[in-house]
C-alpha cells in the first residue's frame, strides 16, 4: 500500500464532489472552476481538471455550452445537469456521514 | 538570433521559438499518447490545448510577441507535469494500486522496450536504439556493424534494414523513457529467470509448510506453484524460440540469397565466367525471364523467412508493431511473387507446346561389298567425369572456355526396301509454335562419314551455342537390304538403341558380331 495512492484516490473522489458543488452555485468556465479549486488548495496543477470534467460530462453529470470569449476562441461554459444535482445531494449526505464517522473515531 | 515557428493551438495563431516549440510538442505528445485517440481522449486533449492557448493569450502582451521557453515552462507548471495530470486518471490509479512493489521513479520502473533513437541517429537510429536497449556504448555497436559489413558478411546489413523497418521510433517522452527503461540484457534475462525460479521455489516451500499439519488449502497452493513454474518454463521457451527463429531465418535467408546471387551473376549475361553447374537456367530461359524468376523466387521464399526473423525478434525484444499492416503487406507481396512465378512458368511452358519432327531423305549408300561396318566416332572429347549439365539426352559441356550443347543420338536397324543400304535421320524438337519447333529441329547438327564399307557415326550431335533446351532428339535409322550383312563395332554401344532382331538379343550382346538381314528380320550370321 502506498500513501501516494491512497491520497490520490481520496483526492479524486473529493475533487468530483468539489466540482459539482462549485457548479451547483452557478455555471462556470473551466478557468473559473480551476481558480476556485486552486484557492481552496484542492488542486495544484490545472491539467488534472480537464480529464475529470470530460469524464463527469460523459457520465451525464455535467453539460456545457460554447460561450464567445472577448479574447481568443469560444470557451466551454459548464452547467450541472439534473443527474449531477441528484448525485451531489447523495454526495453531500455521504460526506456528512464520512466527516462524522472520522470525527467520532479520531476523538 | 532564433528561429521562430508559427503554430495553431485551438484555433489561435502563435509565434514560438524553435526550442520552445520542441518542448511544447514533447509535452503535448506525452499527453496525446496517454489519452489515445478515443473520443473522450480527444476531448480531453482539446480542452487542455484550449487552456494552453488561453494561458498564452494572457501572457502575451502584444500579438507579435513570441512564445519562448520560459513561457512554456511556466505553462507546464500551471498545467502540471504529465505524471501529475495522469494521477487523477482512473485507470492509472488502479494500475498503480496493483503494482505495489514498484519503485516510485517512473523512469526507473518502466520495462525496457526496443525503440529506434531519433536523437542520436546516423541512419535510422537502430544502433543507438540497440545501444540504449543493451546498455552498451553506441560506438561498439556501430563498429560491429561496420566491421561485419567490411568483412563481407551481408547479414548485419540485412538485420539493420529489418530493424529499421520493424522497430518503431521513440517519439514521445514515455517512449524515450521506455527505450532506456529497466535493463533487459542477457544477464538481466538470467536475473528475471532466477527471480522466477526463486518465486517457484518459495511458493513450493510455502506449499510444503502449509501442507505440513493440515492439508486445507493445499490444492490452491499446488495450482499457484504450477502456475509460477509454468510461467518460468514458458519464458525460457519463448526466449529459446526467439533465438531459434532469428537464427534459422538468417541462416536460411543468407544461404538462399547467396545461392541466388551466385547463380545469377555467374551465368548472367554480364559474366564471362563459365563453369559447369552455373549454366543451368539459361538452357531454358532468356535473360529477362531469369531475372524475373530470381525476383519471384526471392519474394516467395524470402518473405516467409523475413517474417520468421521478425517473429523471432519480437519474441526476444519486446517492441510494438502494427502486425496487421506488416502481415497484410507481406501477404500481398508474397501473392504477387506467386503470380509472377506462375505466369512466368506458363509462358515458359508455351515454349514446349508444339512438337515437330523433320525426316531426312533416305540416303542410299554406294557400297562395293555386301557387308557394312558400323562404328562410332568420338567427335567431341567428352568424359562423363568432366563437369556437365545433362538433361535427358542433352548435355552442356564447357570446352576451351566455350559452351557446347551436345546430344546423344539413337540408332536403330531396319530392313531396306530399295535393295541398298540406306541411312535416314529423324530430327525432333519442341517449340512455341510449329514453325519454331521445326526450326529448332532443323538446327540439330549431325555428321557421319562413309569410307568404303565403313560408316563412322559421330557419337554426339551438336546444337548452336545460344540454343535452349527444347527436348531435341535425333534418331538414326540404318536400313539394310535382305541378304546383306552389318557388323556392329563395340564402339556402337554408345548409340545403338533397341535394335530389333529375331533372337531378341540385347543391344550390348549384339556388338562385335555380324548380323544378316533375313526376311523375318535381323539375325546373327553363323561363323
Taking contacts as CB-CB distances below 8 angstroms, the residues of chain A near B44 are 50-51, 54
Q: Look at B51 and A50 and tell me if their CB atoms are within 8 Å.
A: yes
Closest CA of chain B from A4, distance in Å? 10
Q: Look at B44 and A12 and tell me if their CB atoms are within 8 Å.
A: no
In angstroms, the CA B279 to CA B264 distance is: 10
Q: What percent of chain A has pLDDT over 90?
A: 14
Query: What average pLDDT does range B248-268 have in this prediction?
Result: 66
Which residue in the set A30, A54, A71 is minimally distant from B51, CB to CB? Answer: A30
Most trustworthy range by pLDDT among A13-27, B30-44, B209-223, B269-283: A13-27
DSSP string, A56-77: HHHTTSEEEEEE--SSSS-EEE
Bridge-based pairing of strands B461-463 and B402-407 is antiparallel
Closest CA of chain A from B110, distance in Å? 18
Query: How many beta-carbon contacts under 8 Å exist across A and B?
Result: 80
Which residues neighbour B4 within 8 Å (Cβ) at sequence distance 6 or greater?
Answer: B15, B16, B17, B18, B66
Helix (H) or strand (E) holding B475: strand B473-480
Cell numbers representing residue B132 in the block: 540504449
Neighbours of A95 (CB within 10 A): 15
Give the domain ranges of chain B: 1-101, 186-350, 354-524
Neighbours of A49 (CB within 10 A): 26
Taking contacts as CB-CB distances below 8 angstroms, the residues of chain B near A75 are 50, 54
φ/ψ of B254, rounded to 5, equals -65, -45
Lowest-confidence range among A35-44, B47-56, B58-67, B474-483? B58-67
Asked if pLDDT for residue B275 goes beyond 50, the answer is: no
Who has greater pLDDT, B364 or A93?
A93
Q: Look at B79 and A1 and tell me if their CB atoms are within 8 Å.
A: no
Give me chain A's average pLDDT, please. Answer: 85
pLDDT of residue B475: 92
- B379-407 pLDDT, tens digit per residue, is 777 666 566 666 667 777 777 667 778 88
Q: How many residues are there in chain B?
A: 527
- B69-79 pLDDT, tens digit per residue, is 888 888 888 88
Instruction: Name the pLDDT band for B208 (thresholds 50, 70, 90).
Output: low
Which is nearest to B79 in space by CA: B36, B5, B138, B27?
B27
Read off the DSSP letter of residue B445.
B
Which is nearest to B184 in space by CA: B46, B317, B320, B286?
B317
Instruction: Name the pLDDT band for B207 (thresholds 50, 70, 90).
Output: low
Note whether B160 and B172 are within 8 A (CB).
no
In angstroms, the CA B500 to CA B520 distance is: 11
Neighbours of B426 (CB within 10 A): 17
The CB-side HSE value for B369 (13 A sphere, CA atoms) comes to 11
Which residue in the set A4, A44, A53 is minimally distant from B47, CB to CB? Answer: A53
pLDDT of residue B111: 62
pLDDT of residue B94: 41
Instruction: Name the pLDDT band for B477 (thresholds 50, 70, 90).
Output: very high
Closest CA of chain A from B44, distance in Å? 5
Q: Look at B11 and A9 and tell me if their CB atoms are within 8 Å.
A: no
Note whether B515 and B525 are within 8 A (CB).
yes
Q: Look at B87 and A55 and tell me if their CB atoms are within 8 Å.
A: no
Asked if pLDDT for residue B36 goes beyond 70, the answer is: yes
Helix then strand then coil, in percent of chain B rounded to 5, is: 50, 20, 30
Taking contacts as CB-CB distances below 8 angstroms, the residues of chain A near B34 are none
Q: What is the interface pTM, i.e. ipTM, of the complex?
A: 0.85
Which residues neighbour A49 within 8 Å (Cβ) at sequence distance 6 or greater?
Answer: A19, A30, A33, A34, A37, A43
Instruction: Name the pLDDT band for B363 (thresholds 50, 70, 90).
Output: confident
Which is nearest to B31 in space by CA: A48, A74, A62?
A48
In angstroms, the CA B255 to CA B262 distance is: 10
Query: What average pLDDT does range B353-371 have in this prediction?
Result: 80
A1 to chain B: nearest residue by CA? B100
Lowest-confidence range among B9-18, B90-99, B491-500? B90-99
Lowest-confidence range among A75-89, B207-221, B445-459? B207-221
Helices (H), ranges, B418-472 = 434-442
* Interface residue of A50, A71, A78 to substitute, partner B, most B CBs within 10 Å: A50
Task: Output the domain CATH number for residue A96.
Answer: 1.10.10.10
Asked if pLDDT for residue B104 goes beyond 70, the answer is: no
Which residue in the set A4, A52, A75 is minimally distant from B88, CB to CB? Answer: A52
Closest CA of chain B from A81, distance in Å? 19
pLDDT of residue B102: 36
Question: Containing domain of residue A92, as a range?
Answer: 3-106
Q: Please tell me if residue A26 touches chain B, with a CB cutoff of 8 Å.
A: no
Who has greater pLDDT, A70 or A17?
A17
* B42: exposed, middle or buried (Cβ count in 10 Å: 0-12, 13-18, 19+): middle
Q: Look at A5 and B93 and tell me if their CB atoms are within 8 Å.
A: yes
φ/ψ of B465, rounded to 5, equals -55, -45
Category of A21 on φ-ψ map: left (φ > 0), alpha (ψ -120 to 50) or beta: alpha
Query: What average pLDDT does range B451-473 have in this prediction?
Result: 85
Which position has the grid cell 476523538? A107
Which position has the grid cell 451547483? A24
Which residues in B283-319 are b (16+ Cβ under 10 Å) and which e?
A: bbbeeebbebbbbbbbbbbbbebbbbbbbbbbbbbeb
pLDDT of residue B165: 78
Who has greater pLDDT, B19 or B109?
B19
pLDDT of residue B108: 39
Q: Look at A50 and B47 and tell me if their CB atoms are within 8 Å.
A: yes
Count structural domains, chain A: 1
In angstroms, the CA B412 to CA B477 distance is: 5
Neighbours of B77 (CB within 10 A): 12
Residue A84: helix, strand or coil by DSSP?
helix
Bridge-based pairing of strands B422-431 and B363-364 is antiparallel
Asked if pLDDT for residue B157 goes beyond 50, the answer is: yes
In angstroms, the CA B390 to CA B460 distance is: 13
Beta bridge partners of A77: A29, A65
Amino acid at each position: 500500500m502506498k500513501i501516494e495512492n491512497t491520497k490520490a484516490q481520496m483526492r479524486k473522489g473529493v475533487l468530483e464532489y468539489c466540482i459539482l458543488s462549485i457548479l451547483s452555485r452557478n455555471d462556470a468556465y473551466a478557468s473559473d472552476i480551476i481558480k476556485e479549486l486552486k484557492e481552496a488548495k484542492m488542486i495544484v496543477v490545472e491539467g488534472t481538471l480537464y480529464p475529470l470534467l470530460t469524464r463527469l460530462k460523459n457520465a451525464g453529470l455535467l453539460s456545457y455550452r460554447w460561450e464567445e470569449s472577448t479574447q481568443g476562441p469560444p470557451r466551454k461554459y459548464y452547467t450541472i445537469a439534473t443527474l449531477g444535482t441528484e448525485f451531489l445531494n447523495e454526495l453531500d449526505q455521504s460526506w456528512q456521514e464520512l466527516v462524522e464517522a472520522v470525527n467520532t473515531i479520531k476523538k | 538570433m532564433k528561429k521562430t515557428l508559427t503554430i495553431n493551438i485551438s484555433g489561435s495563431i502563435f509565434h514560438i521559438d524553435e526550442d520552445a516549440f520542441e518542448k511544447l510538442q514533447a509535452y503535448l505528445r506525452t499527453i496525446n499518447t496517454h489519452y489515445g485517440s478515443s473520443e473522450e481522449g480527444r476531448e480531453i486533449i482539446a480542452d487542455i490545448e484550449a487552456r494552453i492557448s488561453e494561458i498564452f493569450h494572457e501572457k502575451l502582451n502584444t500579438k507579435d510577441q513570441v512564445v519562448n521557453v520560459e513561457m512554456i515552462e511556466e505553462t507546464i507548471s500551471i498545467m502540471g507535469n504529465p505524471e501529475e495530470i495522469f494521477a487523477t486518471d482512473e485507470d492509472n490509479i488502479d494500475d498503480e494500486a496493483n503494482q505495489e512493489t514498484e519503485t516510485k521513479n517512473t523512469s526507473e520502473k518502466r520495462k525496457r522496450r526496443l525503440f529506434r533513437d531519433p536523437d542520436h541517429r546516423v541512419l535510422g537510429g537502430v544502433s543507438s536504439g540497440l545501444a540504449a536497449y543493451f546498455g552498451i556504448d553506441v560506438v561498439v555497436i556501430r563498429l560491429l556493424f561496420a566491421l561485419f559489413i567490411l568483412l563481407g558478411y551481408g547479414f548485419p546489413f540485412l538485420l539493420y534494414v529489418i530493424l529499421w523497418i520493424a522497430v518503431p521510433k521513440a517519439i514521445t517522452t514515455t517512449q524515450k523513457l521506455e527505450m532506456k527503461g529497466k535493463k533487459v540484457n542477457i544477464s538481466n534475462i538470467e536475473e528475471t529467470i532466477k527471480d522466477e525460479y526463486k518465486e517457484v521455489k518459495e511458493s513450493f516451500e510455502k506449499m510444503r509448510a502449509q501442507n505440513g499439519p493440515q492439508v486445507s488449502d493445499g490444492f490452491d497452493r499446488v495450482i499457484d506453484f504450477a502456475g509460477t513454474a509454468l510461467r518460468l518454463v514458458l519464458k525460457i521457451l519463448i526466449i529459446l524460440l526467439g533465438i531459434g527463429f532469428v537464427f534459422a531465418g538468417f541462416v536460411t535467408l543468407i544461404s538462399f540469397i547467396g545461392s541466388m546471387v551466385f547463380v545469377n551473376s555467374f551465368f548472367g549475361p554480364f559474366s564471362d565466367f563459365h563453369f559447369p553447374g552455373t549454366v543451368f537456367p539459361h538452357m531454358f530461359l532468356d535473360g529477362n525471364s531469369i531475372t524475373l524468376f530470381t525476383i519471384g523466387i526471392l519474394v516467395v521464399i524470402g518473405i516467409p523467412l523475413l517474417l520468421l526473423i521478425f517473429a523471432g525478434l519480437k519474441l526476444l525484444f519486446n517492441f510494438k508493431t502494427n502486425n496487421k499492416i506488416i502481415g497484410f503487406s507481406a501477404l500481398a507481396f508474397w501473392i504477387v511473387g506467386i503470380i509472377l512465378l506462375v505466369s512466368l512458368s506458363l509462358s515458359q511452358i508455351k515454349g514446349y507446346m508444339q512438337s515437330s519432327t523433320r525426316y531426312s531423305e533416305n540416303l542410299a549408300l554406294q557400297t562395293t561389298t555386301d557387308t557394312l561396318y558400323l562404328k562410332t566416332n568420338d567427335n567431341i572429347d567428352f568424359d562423363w567425369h568432366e563437369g556437365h549439365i545433362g538433361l535427358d539426352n542433352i548435355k552442356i559441356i564447357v570446352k576451351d572456355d566455350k559452351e557446347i550443347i551436345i546430344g546423344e543420338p539413337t540408332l536403330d536397324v531396319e530392313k531396306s526396301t530399295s535393295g541398298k543400304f540406306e541411312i535416314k535421320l529423324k530430327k525432333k524438337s519442341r517449340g512455341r509454335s510449329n514453325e519454331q519447333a521445326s526450326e529448332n529441329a532443323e538446327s540439330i547438327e549431325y555428321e557421319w562419314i562413309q569410307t568404303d564399307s565403313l560408316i563412322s557415326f559421330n557419337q554426339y550431335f551438336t546444337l548452336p551455342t545460344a540454343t535452349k533446351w527444347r527436348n531435341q532428339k535425333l534418331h538414326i535409322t540404318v536400313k539394310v537390304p535382305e541378304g546383306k550383312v552389318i557388323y556392329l563395332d563395340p564402339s556402337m554401344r554408345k548409340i545403338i538403341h533397341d535394335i530389333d532382331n529375331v533372337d531378341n538379343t540385347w543391344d550390348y550382346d549384339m556388338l562385335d558380331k555380324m548380323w544378316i538381314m533375313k526376311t523375318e528380320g535381323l539375325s546373327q550370321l553363323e561363323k
